[in-house]
């Protein structure tokens, strides 16, 4: 009896141990603790090494350099900047420039991509074939080379300022950039802005009301048309009523180049065009795949129900195609934003070029500068991902 108990005890212990080993919960805890230990150990190891290395090599660290004078010229800044400004200002300039490129690039890429995507589905053989080769050629060469090609193959070959392309004496294009009039608001221009805001609020309200009425009664109301009309007419009327309080600063050729007005350098144009065209290839494929993903039966069913052809596209095809199109589209937008860092190849002062290249080189503070650059891109990317997930949740087909 005693012997039996003695043998039973280790057996029970083994059983308990084996049940612990086979228990998925316990195993999960173990794996996670292991990962955490490796992670913490690894990070501690890297940090301690970095500190040792930096102190030994006399490298300065910290963010104190942000207040120092940068002292170099930046060819294009969205926000005001002078040579005497601090490094932190350079960082802000870089961010503003990167965001500007991203926004304009995204708008252009979407438009071109949409056109090219539809062209790939065209019934015209030449258009279809050209669209196909447009996509194939541009998608299969590195963007870096394309940016360089656009700069040297086009924007650098434009005429010199004295022989600029001149559109109406106000818009000029030459190899120094694109020059256009700058609006200079006078007193009372604020009212136009207020009117614009009111019009937008009103049209949103109308749209909502129209939608509710459509769902409740089935009667439709041209909310889009009325909204656009409101947004255009109300501010225009206010603008005229307050006596057109806006003047234009028109660029004039003086000395080496045009002065006054607004301008963007050729590197900006080359970067925008290259980014927009390169990304448009991917967008074209996304649009094509999206439209093709809606089965033909949907169109036929809608037609059988007597829905007007213009409404089939808007209410049947597009909502379904968009569900397929939007997620990859957003990731293309993020790619475009990240790809704008290739501006370094032609020297447009985006964040990477002006901050991680020039500023790092002039100040020598590798760690804070690289960290700040990465933090910016992470912030942009993560906030877009967040919005994206919200959208996805809204449009997802609820499975039952």
Measure the CA–CA gap between 321 and 324, rounded to whole angstroms: 5
Q: Which of 9, 73, 186, 295 binds other proteins (CB under 8 A)?
A: 73
Residue 146 Cβ vs other proteins, minimum distance, rounded to whole Å: 8
Q: Which of 378, 389, 392, 395 binds other proteins (CB under 8 A)?
A: 378
Question: Contacts with other proteins in 91-150 (CB under 8 A)?
Answer: 123-127, 130, 136-137, 139-145, 148-149
Measure the CA–CA gap between 66 and 89, rounded to whole angstroms: 8
Sequence-separated (6 or more) residues with CB below 8 Å from residue 392: 327
Tell me if 52 contacts other proteins by CB under 8 A: yes
**From the CB of residue 177, how many other CB atoms can be counted at a distance below 10 Å?**
24
Tell me if 194 contacts other proteins by CB under 8 A: no
Measure the CA–CA gap between 151 and 351, rounded to whole angstroms: 19
Measure the CA–CA gap between 316 and 299, rounded to whole angstroms: 7
Residue 229 Cβ vs other proteins, minimum distance, rounded to whole Å: 28
Q: Which of 204, 370, 387, 395 binds other proteins (CB under 8 A)?
A: 370
Q: Which of 58, 168, 218, 297 binds other proteins (CB under 8 A)?
A: 58
Tell me if 71 contacts other proteins by CB under 8 A: yes
The secondary structure of 332-362 as a DSSP string is HHHHHHHHGGGGGGTT---HIIIIIIIIHHH
Give the helix ranges, DSSP H, for 242-345: 266-293, 296-304, 309-311, 318-339
Q: Which residue's CB is nearer to other proteins, number 56 or number 219?
A: 56
Tracing tokens 């006078």 back to the chain, one arrives at: 186
Tell me if 38 contacts other proteins by CB under 8 A: yes
Question: Contacts with other proteins in 237-266 (CB under 8 A)?
Answer: 254-257, 259, 265-266
Residue 15 Cβ vs other proteins, minimum distance, rounded to whole Å: 21
Residue 101 Cβ vs other proteins, minimum distance, rounded to whole Å: 13
Question: Contacts with other proteins in 307-366 (CB under 8 A)?
Answer: 334, 338-339, 341-342, 344-347, 349, 352-353, 356-358, 360-364, 366
Total number of residues that touch other proteins (CB under 8 A):
90
What secondary structure letter does DSSP report for 160? Answer: P
Task: Indicate the pairing of strand 165-167 with strand 171-174.
Answer: antiparallel
Query: Collapsing DSSP states into helix, strand and coil, what is residue 201?
Result: helix
Residue 147 Cβ vs other proteins, minimum distance, rounded to whole Å: 11
Tell me if 28 contacts other proteins by CB under 8 A: yes
Residue 184 Cβ vs other proteins, minimum distance, rounded to whole Å: 20
CA 382 to chain CA centroid, Å, is 12
Tell me if 49 contacts other proteins by CB under 8 A: yes
Question: Contacts with other proteins in 155-174 (CB under 8 A)?
Answer: 156-157, 159-160
Phi (first) and psi of residue 257, to 5 degrees: -155, -175
Instruction: Provide the b/e sequence for 77-106 (b: ≥16 CB within 10 Å).
Output: beeebeeebebebbbbbbbbbbbbbbebbb
Q: Which stretch binds other proteins (CB under 8 A): 3-11, 72-80, 88-96, 310-318?
A: 72-80
Residue 192 Cβ vs other proteins, minimum distance, rounded to whole Å: 33
């Amino acid at each position: 009896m005693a012997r039996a108990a003695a043998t039973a005890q280790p057996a029970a212990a083994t059983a308990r141990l084996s049940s612990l080993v086979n228990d998925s919960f316990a195993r999960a805890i173990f794996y996670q603790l292991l990962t955490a230990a490796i992670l913490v150990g690894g990070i501690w190891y890297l940090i301690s090494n970095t500190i040792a290395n930096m102190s030994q090599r006399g490298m300065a660290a910290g963010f104190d350099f942000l207040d120092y004078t940068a002292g170099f010229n930046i060819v294009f800044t969205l926000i005001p900047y002078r040579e005497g400004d601090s490094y932190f200002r350079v960082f802000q300039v870089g961010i503003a420039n990167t965001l500007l490129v991203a926004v304009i690039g995204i708008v252009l890429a979407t438009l071109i991509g949409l056109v090219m995507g539809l062209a790939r589905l065209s019934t015209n053989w030449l258009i279809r074939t050209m669209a196909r080769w447009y996509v194939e050629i541009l998608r299969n060469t590195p963007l870096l080379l394309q940016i360089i090609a656009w700069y040297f193959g086009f924007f650098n070959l434009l005429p010199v300022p004295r022989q600029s392309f001149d559109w109406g004496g106000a818009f000029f294009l030459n190899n120094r950039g694109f020059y256009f009039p700058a609006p200079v608001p006078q007193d009372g221009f604020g009212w136009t802005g207020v009117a614009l805001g009111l019009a937008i609020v009103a049209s949103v309200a109308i749209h909502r009301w129209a939608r509710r009425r459509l769902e409740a009664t089935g009667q439709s109301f041209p909310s889009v048309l009325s909204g656009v009309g409101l947004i255009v007419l109300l501010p225009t009327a206010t603008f005229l009523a307050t006596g057109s309080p806006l003047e234009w600063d028109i660029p004039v050729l003086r000395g080496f180049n045009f002065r006054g007005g607004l301008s963007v350098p050729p590197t900006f144009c080359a970067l925008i065009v290259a980014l927009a065209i390169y990304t448009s290839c991917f967008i074209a494929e996304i649009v094509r795949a999206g439209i093709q993903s809606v089965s033909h039966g949907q169109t036929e069913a809608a037609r059988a129900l007597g829905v007007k052809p213009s409404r089939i596209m808007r209410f049947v095809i597009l909502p379904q195609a968009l569900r397929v199109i939007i997620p990859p589209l957003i990731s293309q937008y993020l790619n475009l934003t990240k790809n704008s860092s290739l501006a370094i190849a032609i020297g447009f002062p985006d964040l990477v070029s002006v901050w991680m290249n020039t500023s790092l080189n002039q100040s020598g503070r590798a760690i804070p500068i690289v960290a700040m650059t990465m933090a910016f891109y992470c912030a942009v990317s993560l906030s877009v991902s967040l919005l994206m997930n919200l959208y996805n949740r809204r449009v997802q087909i609820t499975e039952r």
